A = this chain, B = another copy of it.
Amino acid sequence: MSAATKAKVLATARRLDYVVSPDAVRLAGGPTRRVALAVPHLERWFFGEMVSGIETVLSAAHFDLLLYQVGGPDDRHDFFTRLPARRKVDAVVVVAFPVDQHEQERLALMGVSIIAAGGQNADYPYVCIDDYRAGRLAVDHLLELGHRRIAMIAAHDPDQPGWPARPGRSAAYVDALTEAGIAVDHALIRDVDWGGLNAASAMADILDAAPEHAPTAVFAHSDELALGAIRTLRRRGLRIPDDVSVVGIDDHPLAALTDLTTVHQSVREQGEIAARLVLETLNPSPTADGGVPTAVTAPVTLTVRASTGPAPDRRRPTAATADDSPR
């Protein structure tokens, strides 16, 4: 443990009125060859894929993985209060949820390395995508197809307030529209609790709110939201993409099955990178100059499938030059 980390741990401990046992700190920093994962929602594809990638690399390095689910407020409070992984692990990987100031202080008490996977968190080494860039790829694609009335279905997890994916993706939408000279219309924006069925309701709301100015395209913050929107559109008799184009983010396995245009991210690869950040932090490679890497931005790419097409007016004969003049 570096002197700086030690000082930080002790300072935090004093403030929290803790007595830190030197033995415990040594033990916690010792070679348990175990790594803890704190994960909000194991049953969701993103998290399963991430944990799978982390496990593959760490088990090959003969590390064991301790799994802690911290999705709900109770689990989360319990995890940070009891610190069940304390003295049992060499490192903790925090998977895609925001760690608040108090929780950071609790983690510091463990005296172990912390890595953030699937999102940036405090000053921990991290791997994640650039949410703004992912959003721009999606919205710019719709703009290039000639869409100007573009709805957005954003999502938040009420149990993880402040998670940066939503503001990043939303800012991309606002900027892309603004740069294209399109006023942001709040009647076309909904922010829902995570989940496809909520997105289906949000889509119905949007259609009902402005029946005379229905959107010709929808940008959903994730593929599951996009599939929810598509359900509503289909039930209203709207054709995809003839009447409405829909784009998501993730490239969930069902996106290929449902012909959904989306922004691809490799979540498994992010998990593998997070695991390598753990290994490198615990045992810095002698050949690496400049020390341990602390930030990896995983690539995102637009994957065009059948759920997006030219804006309806672009398909009229008079708009035959659409392909030559993408906006």
Q: Which residues of B contact A44 (CB under 8 A)?
A: 48
Q: Which residues of B contact A197 (CB under 8 A)?
A: 256-257
Q: Taking the nearest CB of chain B, how far is it from the CB of A278, in angstroms?
A: 15
7 additional contacts, CB 8 Å, given A43-B52, A45-B45, A45-B48? A42-B51, A52-B69, A55-B67, A66-B67, A227-B254, A227-B258, A231-B257
Q: Which residues of B contact A236 (CB under 8 A)?
A: none
Contact with B along A185-217 (1 / 0, CB 8 A): 000000000011100100000000000000000
Copies in the complex: 2
Q: Point out the residue from B43, B52, B228, B231 that lies within 8 Å of A268, measured CB to CB.
A: B43
Q: How far is the CA of A67 from the CA of B56 in the complex (A)?
A: 11
A68 at the binding interface (Cβ < 8 Å): yes
Contacts A/B (CB < 8 Å), 5 sampled: A37-B67, A42-B55, A43-B48, A55-B67, A231-B257
Decide if B43 touches A49 in the complex (CB within 8 Å): yes
A62 at the binding interface (Cβ < 8 Å): yes
Known contacts: A55-B67, A67-B67, A75-B59. The answer to whether A257 contacts B196 by CB under 8 A is yes
Of residues 51 to 105 in A, which have CB atoms within 8 Å of B's CB atoms?
Answer: 51-52, 55-56, 59, 62, 64-69, 75, 78, 84-85, 88
A residues with CB within 8 A of B: 34, 37, 41-45, 47-49, 51-52, 55-56, 59, 62, 64-69, 75, 78, 84-85, 88, 195-197, 200, 224, 227-228, 231, 253-254, 256-259, 268
Q: Taking the nearest CB of chain B, how far is it from the CB of A238, in angstroms?
A: 15
Q: Taking the nearest CB of chain B, how far is it from the CB of A293, in angstroms?
A: 25
Q: How far is the CA of A264 from the CA of B1 in the complex (A)?
A: 51
Decide if A67 touches B84 in the complex (CB within 8 Å): no
Known contacts: A49-B43, A51-B42, A258-B231. The answer to whether A196 contacts B253 by CB under 8 A is yes
Q: Which residues of B contact A200 (CB under 8 A)?
A: 257
Q: How far is the CA of A64 from the CA of B66 in the complex (A)?
A: 7
